[in-house]
Amino acid sequence: MTSTLLTSITVFVLAVFIGFEIISKVPTMLHTPLMSGTNAIHGIVLVGAMLIAGSAHSTLEQVLAFVAVVFATINVVGGFLVTDRMLEMFKRR
Amino acid sequence: MTTPLALSQTAINFTYLVAAVLLIVGIRRLSAPPTARSGNVIAAVGMTIAIVFTFLDRDIDSYWLIVVGMAVGTVIGVASARLVKMTAIPQMVALFNGVGGGAAALISAAEFHRLAPAAGHLSGDSVGAMLFSALIGSVSFAGSLVAFGKLQELLPGRPLVFGAQQVLNAALFAALVAFGILAGATEAGIWMVFLLLGALLFGVLLVLPIGGADMPVVISLLNAFTGLAAASAGFVLENTALIIGGTLVGASGTLLTILMGRAMNRSLANVLFSAFGSAPTGSAAAPTSADGKSYREISAEDAAVMLAYAQRVVIVPGYGLAVAQAQHSVRELADLLEKRGVDVKYAIHPVAGRMPGHMNVLLAEANVPYPQLFDMEDINPEFPRTDVALVIGANDVTNPAARNVPESPIYGMPILNVDEAANVVVLKRSMNPGFAGIDNDLYYDSKTAMLFGDAKASVEKLVAGVKAA
């Protein structure tokens, strides 16, 4: 095992704990908006898709990477916007 | 070739750290009503930082694919998020989740293709993550599309079950493991293709047998899957932003799935397998009354949030309020809600309590403004427009049996039609029947939530909850 992999695993394990801790107490009304918000956050795959697309050389790689960029962008942009629409009802009165 | 703008990997990793902190703060704020909106914005800022600084990565030597792809994705994303009707938002979330999973699978496929043409190029460190990401990403993609189809009514919402489904699923899963091992060992692209296609089929078969009503829980589970797929794509690319962002969603999404199931009185196993008949029928997690009907309990905090963000609330007082002397606390709750802009009315049944006019006397003692009190004839037409009906210690005067069960002893008695409100919260000491000794079907309605305890203590908890919301 390389030390890079070990560092990645360390980051992963710590992130698992944080992920569990930060939403320990959520009112039922926020379940769907929270699901939608975290849904937007896994759109971070866009970063991966960009790295692949920026260094793709064969045609197949370029096609796969291009579709990945489109998909991930829809995930990020659509995800945050739809969550914001859902949360309009929580506007401060 | 590097672009003149390129930043060192250390500098980019630092911006990823900033982005990760913003994502964490964002999710944290998303889980409380007063901060939820800002939480979403903060997470979006974190995401933007990660994306912008990735442009400066040295590994990127061509921008056109990225720029065109992002432009296309933005147009589709903005259009679908803006144009979708509020009622269709769940299936939109399913779709956004699915494409995220698809992206993770495609990243793995592209990396496999890049590294695997000559045997010996795949490092043992990343190949496992690559296969996992391809597998889970594809399952999430296909499963989300089926969930979308069910919610959009393109597919039948009822569970689609056929005979040997369980056997088929088990066989398919075994095949997927075999494809993964072969892909890793031989580095032949054909096994990767089999793995991706098999995983798509598995995703379809996983969601088809699940009924439409359970879709939110399923989408939440697939959301967690996509998070894990993104995280393992992060292992493949050795990218901390992906690992942290994906893992946060994988972990919080798993917990959220469990919480959602619990709120709907369904265990996860029940949601996933009940259509197969292998899980106990009915809802295993739900508390049930003596004769087996299930009801739903709610915490005071949850009920308070529901009230605080409602537009119209009708309070239905009954004998329980009188016994507990809760009228002053109720008045405080109503005042708090009014201050937040909630329209609060009291529904006074002529015989609520133990004598005609009992409730008017009590509420007058607490100085409840007279115009907020409504007689049965005046308030009944309001219930269909009411967001939350808060029933405080009233029982028989809300029992729908009086309207629709001719055998019931109270059949024909005029009642308050609280069951027509969008949500009903019942404050009650226990499930014991009321004065007339008749069970109330209102309590077993799917939109009714029970808050057990002494009326005064419960209302005080609601007051505290509304203050915090």
Who among A16, A78, A91 is closest to B247 (CB)? A16
- Identify whether the C-beta of residue B466 lies closer than 8 Å to the C-beta of residue B308: yes
CA-wise closest residue to A49 among A31, A36, A67, A24? A67
pLDDT value at position B24?
96
- Identify whether the C-beta of residue B318 lies closer than 8 Å to the C-beta of residue B392: yes
pLDDT value at position B284?
40
CA-wise closest residue to A44 among B49, B221, B60? B49
What value of ipTM does the predicted structure carry?
Answer: 0.95
pLDDT value at position B285?
45
CA distance B203 to chain A (A): 18
A-facing residues of B in 308-347 (CB < 8 A) are 309, 340-341
CA distance B49 to chain A (A): 11
B288 forms bridges with which residues in the sheet? B294
Residue of A nearest to B59 (CA): A55
CB-neighbour burial class of residue B366 (10 A; exposed 0-12, middle 13-18, buried 19+): middle
- Interface with B, mutate which of A24, A28, A38 (most B CBs under 10 A): A38
Who among A24, A70, A84 is closest to B73 (CB)? A70
CA-wise closest residue to B249 among A47, A10, A40? A40
Residues of A in contact with B76 (CB under 8 A): 70, 73-74, 78
Plot region of B265 (φ>0 → left; ψ -120 to 50 → alpha; else → beta): left
Residue of B nearest to A28 (CA): B302
CA-wise closest residue to B329 among B456, B452, B464? B456
CB pair distance less than 8 Å for A41 and B250: no
Is the minimum CB–CB distance between B37 and chain A shorter than 8 Å? yes
3-state SS track over chain B: CCCCCCCCHHHHHHHHHHHHHHHHHHHHHHCCHHHHHHHHHHHHHHHHHHHHHHCCCCCCCCCHHHHHHHHHHHHHHHHHHHHCCHHHHHHHHHHHHHHHHHHHHHHHHHHHHHHCCCCCCCCHHHHHHHHHHHHHHHHHHHHHHHHHHHHCCCCCCCCCCCCCHHHHHHHHHHHHHHHHHHHHHHCCHHHHHHHHHHHHHHHHHHHCCCCHHHHHHHHHHHHHHHHHHHHHHHHHHCCHHHHHHHHHHHHHHHHHHHHHHHHCCCCHHHHHHHHHCCCCCCCCCCCECCCCCECCECCHHHHHHHHHCCCEEEEEECHHHHHHCCHHHHHHHHHHHHHCCCEEEEEECCCCCCCCCHHHHHHHHCCCCHHHEEEHHHHHHHHHHCCEEEEECCCHHHCCHHHHCCCCCCCCCCCCCHHHCCEEEEEECCCCCCCCCCCCHHHHCCCEEEEECCHHHHHHHHHHHHHHC
- Interface with B, mutate which of A11, A23, A44, A57 (most B CBs under 10 A): A44
pLDDT value at position B282?
40
Residues in chain B: 469
CB pair distance less than 8 Å for B54 and A84: no
- Residues A69 and B226: their CA atoms lie apart, in Å, by 15
Is the minimum CB–CB distance between A35 and chain B shorter than 8 Å? yes
Tokens of B293: 């009907």
A14 pLDDT more than 50: yes
pLDDT value at position B435?
66
Q: In chain A, pLDDT over 70 holds for what percent of residues?
A: 96
pLDDT value at position B430?
84
- Catalytic residue annotation of B: 396
- Residues B93 and B78: their CA atoms lie apart, in Å, by 13
- Residues B203 and B149: their CA atoms lie apart, in Å, by 13
pLDDT along chain B (469 residues), means of 10: 68 95 95 91 97 92 94 96 87 95 96 77 81 96 95 83 81 94 87 95 92 86 96 94 96 92 77 55 50 82 92 92 90 93 92 79 86 90 93 90 84 89 92 75 90 92 91
A24 pLDDT more than 80: no
Q: What is the mean pLDDT of chain A?
A: 91
